[in-house]
């Protein structure tokens, strides 16, 4: 039986899961692939970590070079993470003519264009299904299953840590810190959780997805990023009262000559499917001109769900083994000559609905001054609510607007902030209706 030999570099949480599947599911994989996937070597500098797998004599090493220089190893699985050593590992593997499987979304978001070009020049594959959405096969879906579609938009929940925090504040009234602590204890937060909280992890993933969906170069710098650290429990409560949930949304829309790509907290109606995605789960809705809407849902992180996606990539490579061009698929699903550099629209130019909350002194005329400013900036009010008075003199005034231009909204908010009756910076949260996102 044909064999594909694998070297695993990095045996932390996901790496251990990959080893568990490769060692524990040999028969299943043989039955499905007609080939043997052999875990020939595993490299990690951490020799003390307790792992749920035991390796045969000679398999485990602390030296990644043993894998990179082994001519019998066909594929390197990079599970190191980060952008320094991991990039070096991938480049050395490519230069040695080995295929690569990685889950490293940050590295691909920053350097994917050049790494994919290097791999193509050497006739090897970089497979990266596990980099976005854990076990959800969103990359395969976009590159293969939706090949017949012009993708018009995507809306997703791509960060389990933020989704967990927002869900648990909503469900149990936990504080932000308590919910974050639980996410870290459960092992799905990044080593540096600011990457999660401030939206960068989701932005790395969206930059990759937008490139595949729209046939464009990966443009992480173009993605607008706003995290959840400024969301207050009060806004989650008001959202609930108005029939919305707050989610950290990843939104990409295709306007032909320009795209939108943005990560920010958003209110979405409680009756839309994405608002029911709770805890650490991820989901993404894709809108294509033939399929209309389709959605994937599943664990976006964690040992075994992410390892499942890594092994799926290994299976694809095994099935393609022996091809002179390495893979039947170009890295982004478009031939390199067809990939365009499409500019991402500045956030100031988007149009959406807004929720904003102003803390203002409860005096005659305040409401009319605020609404006057909105009118001057072409912003039409959908509803306004004056909430109960708090300890101080200030009351929360909550506005929901019709669709408006972000630049107008920001200018209006600056003027509102300058009113003498307004006590602190207004809170602004965009309102999105994912079911309308197929219409860019």
Q: Name the residues annotated as catalytic.
A: 205
Which residues are within 8 A (CB) of 204 and not within 5 positions of it... i.e. 6 or more apart?
105, 106, 108, 109, 110, 131, 220
Among residue numbers 357 through 416, which ones bind ligand HSE (CB under 6 A)? none
- For the CB of residue 161, give the shortest distance to ligand HSE in the complex, in Å: 3
Region binding ligand HSE by CB under 6 A among candidate stretches 19-27, 79-87, 155-163, 337-345: 155-163
CA distance 17 to 303: 5
Minimum CB distance to ligand HSE, residue 387 (Å): 32
Q: Which of 22, 115, 189, 248 binds ligand HSE (CB under 6 A)?
A: 189
- Closest CB to ligand HSE among 160 and 288? 160
Q: Contacting ligand HSE (CB under 6 A), which of 211, 263, 286, 301?
A: 301
| Residue among 10, 160, 330, 396 that touches ligand HSE (CB under 6 A) | 160
What tokens appear for 168 in the block? 């648990």
Q: Is 5 in the site for ligand HSE (CB under 6 A)?
A: no
Residue 129 binds ligand HSE (CB under 6 A): no
Binder to ligand HSE among 155, 161, 254, 437 (CB under 6 A)? 161
Question: Quick check: 128 binds ligand HSE (CB under 6 A)?
Answer: no
Q: Does 188 bind ligand HSE (CB under 6 A)?
A: yes
Give CA–CA dist 146/138, Å, rounded.
10
CB of 363 to ligand HSE, least distance (A): 44
Q: Is 201 in the site for ligand HSE (CB under 6 A)?
A: yes
196 binds ligand HSE (CB under 6 A): yes
d(CA 376, CA 360): 20
**Contact with ligand HSE (CB under 6 A) among 7, 17, 265, 300:** 300
Binding of ligand HSE by 305 (CB under 6 A)? no
Interface positions with ligand HSE (CB under 6 A): 159-161, 188-190, 196, 201, 300-301
């Amino acid at each position: 039986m044909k064999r594909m030999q694998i070297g695993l570099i990095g045996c932390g949480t996901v790496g251990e899961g990959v080893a568990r599947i490769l060692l524990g599911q040999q028969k299943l994989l043989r039955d499905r692939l007609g080939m043997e996937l052999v875990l020939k070597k595993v490299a990690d500098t951490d020799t003390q970590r307790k792992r749920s797998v035991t390796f045969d004599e000679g398999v485990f090493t602390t030296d990644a070079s043993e894998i990179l220089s082994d001519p019998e190893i066909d594929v390197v699985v990079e599970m190191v993470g980060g952008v320094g050593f991991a990039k070096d590992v991938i480049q050395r593997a490519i230069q040695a003519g080995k295929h690569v499987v990685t889950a490293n979304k940050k590295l691909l978001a920053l350097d994917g264009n050049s790494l994919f070009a290097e791999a193509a020049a050497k006739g090897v594959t970089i497979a990266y299904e596990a980099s976005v959405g854990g076990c959800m096969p969103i990359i395969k879906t976009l590159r293969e299953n939706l090949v017949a579609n012009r993708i018009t938009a995507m809306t997703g929940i791509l960060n389990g840590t933020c989704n967990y925090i927002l869900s648990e504040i909503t469900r149990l009234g936990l504080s932000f810190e308590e919910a974050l602590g639980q996410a870290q204890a459960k092992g799905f937060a990044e080593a540096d959780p600011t990457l999660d909280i401030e939206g960068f992890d989701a932005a790395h993933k969206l930059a990759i997805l937008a490139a595949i969906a729209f046939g464009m170069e990966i443009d992480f710098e173009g993605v607008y990023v706003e995290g959840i650290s400024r969301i207050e429990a009060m806004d989650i409560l008001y959202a609930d009262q108005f029939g919305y949930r707050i989610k950290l949304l990843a939104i990409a829309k295709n306007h032909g000559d320009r795209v939108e790509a943005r990560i920010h907290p958003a209110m979405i109606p409680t009756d839309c499917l994405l608002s029911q995605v709770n805890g650490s789960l991820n989901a993404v809705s894709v809108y294509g001109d033939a399929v209309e809407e389709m959605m994937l849902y599943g664990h976006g992180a964690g040992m075994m769900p992410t390892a499942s996606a890594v092994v799926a990539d290994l299976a694809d490579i095994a099935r393609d083994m022996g091809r002179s061009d390495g893979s039947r698929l170009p890295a982004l699903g478009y031939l390199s000559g067809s990939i365009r550099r499409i500019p991402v629209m500045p956030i100031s130019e988007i149009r959406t609905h807004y929720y904003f909350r102003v803390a203002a002194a409860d005096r005659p005329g305040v409401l009319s001054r605020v609404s006057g400013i909105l009118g001057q900036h072409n912003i039409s009010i959908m509803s306004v609510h004056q909430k109960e008075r708090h300890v101080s003199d200030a009351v929360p005034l909550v506005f929901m607007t019709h669709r408006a231009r972000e630049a107008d909204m920001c200018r209006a908010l600056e003027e509102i902030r300058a009113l003498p009756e307004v006590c602190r910076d207004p809170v602004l949260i965009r309102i999105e209706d994912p079911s309308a996102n197929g219409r860019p």
